Amino acid sequence: MTAEPDATLPAAPRVRGLLRVVFLIHGVITLAAAVVLAVLPAAIPATVGIDVGPDAFLLSYFLAAAELAIGLLSLGAAQLSDPAAVRLIVVVFVVFHLATAALEVVYLLFAPVTAVLLVNIAVRVIAAVVFIVAWRSWHRRVTMG
């Protein structure tokens, strides 16, 4: 049995504006990373000085699968109208990017500091902030009418 939407309630607007753009750009970049990790499994790790040989390609393939799922979720989120669903997706993306940044900082405790890693940490933090700002802007418009 499926629930029918309440015809008396106005439909929430779909994701628009900055949040939609952020979801779409995030989705495309994440899908591109998935393709690179799947086709050239050593390429992305090499940018930070990690040598991944064929015996470790499976790790890159696992990461490619996760990136593929995150990218598709991001593209799909751009089509949603349910504020609770959009909020959950934004929270997951913020946690993903901040946890990755934090783990990269931990990695730097054991590895040489490189410009690429520092830039990646900064990009992750900026991405999290952009998601928060974009979601708050969209959510304000949705709740204010």
Which residue matches tokens 């890693």?
A: 117
pLDDT tens, position by position, 90-107 = 999 999 999 999 999 999
Give the CA distances from residue 124 to residues 53, 95, 98, in Å, rounded to whole numbers and listed in that order: 26, 10, 6
pLDDT of residue 75: 98
User: pTM of the predicted model, to two decimals?
Assistant: 0.87
pLDDT tens, position by position, 54-72 = 999 999 999 999 999 999 9
Q: Amino acid identity of 106?
A: V
Separation of alpha carbons 31 and 26, rounded Å: 8
* Closest by Cα among 39, 35, 19 to 93: 19
